[in-house]
A = this chain, B = another copy of it.
Amino acid sequence: MTEFEKVRNEFISQWGVLGNSWGINRTMAQIHAYLMTSPHPLSTQNIMDELEISRGNANTNLRELVSWGLVRTTTYKGDRKEYFIAEKDVWKMFCTISSERRRREITPALDLLRRSKETKTKAKTEEEIAFYEQIQKLEAFVSVADSIMEKVSKSEHNRLMPKVLKLW
């Protein structure tokens, strides 16, 4: 193994550990790290070999990356295999992830908060008053977060970042 291969393996492995602490499947994060730093599209077999994982595992996590929009597939003529390639532009990656997390995490939270609010009648006890007040504050905050993420995920690449940086 060359010195470079060691560095890359360490990076892939540790990116997996980090992904794990971010609530992302370790293998999915490792595959993403491998694809992100590869100059070529890679086949399922390549990934199985590099990460020493089963076909089923590779397939599942590759599909998941595709469903997140972080990876897309390509083919070569005369070759039946699918090859996978990751988005390499970090700002685009950020927008994609914002958009997915909004859909998967923010929207359900907002739904829950709105549903909880609906049932409010004339609050009587101290407990009821505190509950609905807090729900109200959470909803206001989450709905701002939601609209910011919506804008981020729709924003033109490289348009928003300079603005954000000027804030401070």
Binding site for B on A (CB under 8 A): 3-4, 7-8, 10-11, 14-15, 18, 21-24, 36-39, 88-91, 94, 104-105, 108-109, 112, 116, 119, 121, 125-131, 134-135, 137-138, 140-141, 144, 147-148, 151, 160-161, 163-165, 167-168
Can you show 28 pairs from A to B with CB atoms below 8 A apart? Answer: A3-B119, A3-B121, A4-B127, A4-B128, A4-B131, A8-B127, A8-B131, A10-B116, A11-B112, A11-B116, A11-B131, A11-B135, A15-B112, A18-B105, A18-B109, A21-B104, A22-B105, A23-B24, A36-B138, A37-B131, A39-B127, A39-B129, A88-B134, A94-B141, A147-B168, A148-B168, A160-B167, A164-B167
A-B residue pairs, 7 tightest by C-beta: A23-B23, A39-B130, A90-B141, A37-B131, A37-B134, A7-B119, A11-B116
Contacts of A144 in B (CB 8 A): 161, 165
Contacts of A39 in B (CB 8 A): 126-127, 129-130
Contacts of A151 in B (CB 8 A): 168
Whether A148 contacts B164 by the Cβ 8 Å rule is yes
Whether A36 contacts B134 by the Cβ 8 Å rule is yes
Q: Is the interface of A mostly helix, strand, loop or mixed?
A: helix
Rounded to whole angstroms, the CA-CA distance of A163 and B164 in the bound complex is: 10
Partner of A112, one of B18, B88, B148: B18
Contacts of A89 in B (CB 8 A): 137
Shortest CB distance A121–B (Å): 8
